[in-house]
Structure 1
Amino acid sequence: MKLLKKIGLMNAAMFTVLILTWIFVYAGAGLPRAYAWFSLKMVIPILGIAYLLLNVTLWVINVIKKKSTKKRRIGFIAAILLSLHLLLLMNIIQLPYPSRIQNAQPSVTVNWPFAGKTVVGWGGDSLNTNLPHITWASERWAYDLVMEPFNTGSHNPEDYGIWNQEILSPASGIVIAAYDEEHDIEPGSESFLSMEGNHVYLKLDETGTYLLLNHLKQNSLTVKIGDHVQTGDLLGRVGNSGSTSEPHLHIHHQRQNPVLTPHPVLAEGLPLYFEGTDTVPMPQKGTVVSPSF
């Protein structure tokens, strides 16, 4: 009680929230850990900034009234610690979502989604090979796939090799989402309407988990909600819709139904492997992949 009185109730509450959130991240599992991780990156920094503003206000009041500012100093420390979690969100501090591949089950092995030679733009189980994805729970083992030429810097989507390429269903399953009404944006622009853009989501027959394919071309889908697709069936074509720097296919595997999750990152990402190619089952960034089927 003496310590609580010395620190202050609000300061103690802030330290407790921060400590418990980190405990959930590293000692928890499943969806609660995904929510805790989301809170560290998205909620805690906002809380910290708000608490910093509150402490500044209270500090000014204490100075004017000539009262002790000792608790305010502790409050500043708490607020700064909370606010520094912005560095996680901005990837200035790079931490992978703490889910180990051997413990994240079920994994799934599917076919390659293209009939031609493809390059893994991002993929794998390390920060160096999968930085945009590995720091989020749902996209822990996601891939971004491109084709030569890519990274051209062109503002014309037709200058990218993967533009308008056919996407083949990697596995059999039920189509639970099929949307292709968003316009394709100019490469390098930020005029997107949603993070995912046009997409197809499958509930896999094998595991009952979900495969998400994003950034498809407007008006290119060949399937609709409720369709049952087989491995190799045509789903649509690659576009440049959603939050994307250039035409590519984003694909990842997760436990929760993406249609029902309140936010795209509030889900458990699961390992995704590929068979029927000339390379390893989990290809990393820079790997050139040719299907053998």
Structure 2
Amino acid sequence: MYRKYIKAIINSYSEIIFLEGYFPGGILFLSTLINPNVGLAGLVCVLSSYVFALAIGMHKEFLKSGFYTYNPLLVGLSIGYLFKLNLLTTFFTITAGILAFVTTLALFNIFSYYLRLPVLSVPFVLVSSIAYLASSKYANLFVNSLYPHSFLKFMENKVPLWFAGLTKSLGAIFFSPHIISGLFFLLVLLFTSRILLFLAILGYLEGTFIVGIMKGSFYQAFYDINAFNFALIAMAIGGVFLIPSPKSYFTAMTAIAVSPFLLESAKTFWSIYGLPVFTLPFNIITLSFVYVLGLVGYPYLTKIYQGTPEKTLDYYLSHLFRFKGTERTLTLPFSGKWTIWQGINGKWTHKGPWRYAIDFVITDEKKQTYKGHGNSLEDYYCFKKPILSPTRGRVIKVTNNVPDNPPGVTDKERIWGNMVIIYDDRGFYVVIAHFLQDSIKVKEGEWVERGQMLGLCGNSGYSPQPHIHIHVQLTPKLPAPTVPFSFVQYFTQNHTKPVYRANCLPKEGEQVIPLYTDKALDIK
């Protein structure tokens, strides 16, 4: 019965360094007990936040991973490092733990909903700063609870300076800035994730090298235990929030290159109030880089973290080879058999930032898009055919009054013609263009479902013949760079039998037939 509670508490320790499980959590828990005040204060904080979560009715399933309780743990460790544990500091720790849990839950929902970002250890920085500032006004805490930190220094002169700095900095993540604690940290990474081990060491060395060059003293650089921020940035960007690869390592190294300036400025500012910087540089740099990479549609952002970078990379490669599509999935915006007229990186207009786009037409047995001479719009097979919504979402833009061009003529001023832009709640915008004038049936602000009729195929805008243009972008304004997308549930047909595609992108010249769920088959 108590096993699941123990696992939830142990996972709080491993979550701090992006891992999970009994082994890493257990080793890290033991490392905090090197200083009993630190270890016990952290445990008290986790237990108080866990009990409070259960008391307010939070489901146990949400607590077992340790995701909501690692920030309270860090707050408890920070208090235990400053004050020795007694009745007064225990009360102070319990209340700080509850505040950290409430802050974590609130910020998690704000960050994930509005920014699509992880909360990281932002709640810890906020609550620990509040606790440190408040404690300066509590005379009883300072008189009765402060204690010196002078133990476990016997190994510092027996190892190289950089190694002593590395291990002490890594130990400082758990408020145990000692070589032995850092060795525990390295041991955990060695047996659970060699990628994180490589990134932690590389990040620390790069950051301290820059600081040493700028200050003219490598002793000062290695002596600063706040350098653990460099290791955390490298681990987070290089192996957790980006798919591990040379590109992610380069991005992580770039992030570390700019972080020493933030670290030094934060130390200068925070020292005015007598505060350490905690993990503030790590949070600011990591969140900023992840947010910007998301804005530009960086294709190698981690969608589902699997517990270690190695497992995430394995999952990504397996998924990549099995399914050729993307996470931005659409249904084909029509019914019946259509042909890809211009595909990705097409030979006419799908170039550069606008390369991720597809144009559809209807062709006959001779691969002609029209009957007769094609002098009239009515000669084209797809003219006035229904265009269906390829996704479910909110209509944010409609243009419906652009005249249709005669065949062979294009409108170079209103290139999109009549069009609809739909915002998909998954975080992107779908643009469907070249509708027939005055044929669009939906209005701005309306909600549409997949397969709902939007309007009729026309020849408005920069369009020499009737066709449907579709692309995906990350911002609501036109023009904007396009991003990869794919279609689900359709058949492709060339000269062979139809082939089912679950999540793929058809090639230029292929014929496609969408598949729609028949609601009549639902079992009631």
TM-score w.r.t. the length of structure 2 is: 0.33
1:268 is aligned to 2:481: yes
Residue aligning to 1:136: 352
**AA aligned opposite 2:338:** T
Gaps of 5+ in 2: 1-250, 252-295, 304-325, 493-500, 517-524
Matched with 1:219 is 438
Contact residue 411 and residue 463 of structure 2 kept, 8 A: no
Distance change (3 Å), C-alpha of 1:226 and 1:103: same
The answer to whether the 8 Å contact 2:405/2:464 transfers is no
Structure 1 pair 255–287 and aligned structure 2 pair: CA distance change class (3 A): same
C-alpha contact (below 8 Å) 1:157/1:163 kept by paired residues? yes
Instruction: Confirm or deny that 1:162 pairs with 2:363.
Output: no
In structure 1, C-alpha distance between the alignment counterparts of 2:374 and 2:297, rounded to whole Å:
38
Distance 1:165 1:222 in 2: 14
Q: Determine if contact 2:435/2:455 at 8 Å carries over to the other structure.
A: yes
CA distance change for structure 1 residues 284 and 230 in 2, over 3 Å: closer, same or farther? same
Whichever structure has more helix as a proportion of its residues is 2
C-alpha separation in 2, matches of 1:102 and 1:178: 29
- Amino acid aligned to 1:119: T
Match of 1:12 in 2: none
Assess if the C-alpha contact under 8 Å between 2:393 and 2:447 holds in 1.
Answer: yes
* Alignment of structure 1 residues 54-73 onto 2, 5 Å: none
Equivalent position to 2:363, from 143, 148, 153: 148
User: Where do 1:95-244 residues align within 5 Å?
Assistant: 102-103=299-300, 107-124=327-344, 127=345, 130-137=346-353, 139-149=354-364, 150-152=368-370, 154-191=374-411, 193-205=413-425, 207-244=426-463
Residues 141 and 190 from structure 1, CA distance in 2 versus in 1: closer, same or farther, beyond 3 angstroms? closer
d(CA) in 2 for partners of 1:100, 1:286: 27
Measure how far apart 1:189 and its partner are.
1.4
The CA distance in 1 between the partners of 2:357 and 2:420, in whole Å, is 15
How many corresponding residue pairs?
Answer: 186
Q: In structure 2, what is the equivalent of residue 282 of structure 1?
A: 505
SS of the equivalent of 2:490 reads coil
Give the distance between the partners of 1:275 and 1:101, measured in 2 at CA.
22
Aligned to 1:93: none
Deviation at 1:192, TM superposition (A): 5.5
CA contact (8 A) 2:337 2:362 kept: yes
State the distance in 1 between where 2:298 and 2:508 align.
17
Q: Which structure would you say has the larger RCO, counting Cα contacts within 8 Å and 6 or more residues apart?
A: 1
- Tell me if structure 1 keeps the 8 A contact 2:297–2:474: no
* Greater strand fraction, Structure 1 or Structure 2: 1
Residue type of the alignment partner of 2:375: H
Query: Retained in 2: the 8 A contact 1:148–1:161?
Result: yes
Q: In 2, Cα distance between the equivalents of 1:162 and 1:194?
A: 21
1:277 partner amino acid: Y
Code of the residue aligned with 1:196 in structure 2: it is W
Residue 218 of structure 1 deviates from its aligned partner by: 0.5
SS class of match (1:182): coil
Structure 1 residues 33-52: Cα deviation after superposition (integer angstroms, max 9, x where no partner): xxxxxxxxxxxxxxxxxxxx
1:3 is matched with none
> Could you give the per-residue CA deviations for residues 204-224 of structure 1, whole angstroms, max 9, x where no partner exists?
12x221000010000101100
- Give the structure 1 partner of residue 160 of structure 2: none
The one-letter code of the counterpart of 2:380 is: Y
CA distance in 1, matches of 2:420, 2:297: 27
Following TM superposition, by how much is the alpha carbon of 1:199 offset from its aligned partner in structure 2, in angstroms?
0.3
Higher Cα Rg: structure 1 or 2?
Answer: 2
| 1:156–1:185 CA distance, 2 compared to 1 (3 A) | same
User: When the two structures are superposed, what TM-score results if normalisation uses the length of structure 1?
Assistant: 0.58
Note closer, same or farther for the CA distance 1:109–1:286 as it changes in structure 2 (3 Å cut): same
Partners of 1:110 and 1:169 lie apart in 2 by 9
SS in structure 1 at match of 2:347: helix
1:189 and 1:232 map into 2 onto residues whose CA distance is 30
C-alpha separation in 1, matches of 2:486 and 2:349: 16
One-letter identity of the residue aligned with 1:204: D
Listed as ranges, the matches of 1:77-92 within 5 Å are none
The superposition leaves residues 217-269 of structure 1 with CA deviations (integer Å, 9 ceiling, x where unpaired) of 001011000001011111011000001110000000011112xx5xx1xx231
Greater mean deviation of Cα atoms: 179-188 or 143-152: 143-152
- The aligned counterpart of 1:246 is 465
- Code of the residue aligned with 2:347 in structure 1: it is L
How many angstroms apart in 1 are the aligned matches of 2:400 and 2:468?
14
Q: Secondary structure at 2:487's aligned position in 1?
A: strand
Amino acid at match of 2:427: G
Tell me, in whole angstroms, the C-alpha distance in 1 between the residues paired with 2:350 and 2:437.
28
Query: Deviation at 1:133?
Result: 4.2
- Shift of residue 167, structure 1, vs aligned partner: 0.7
SS at match of 1:158: helix
The code of the aligned residue for 2:485 comes to: L
Supply the distance in 1 between the matched residues of 2:412 and 2:442 (Cα, whole angstroms).
23
CA contact (8 A) 1:192 1:241 kept: no
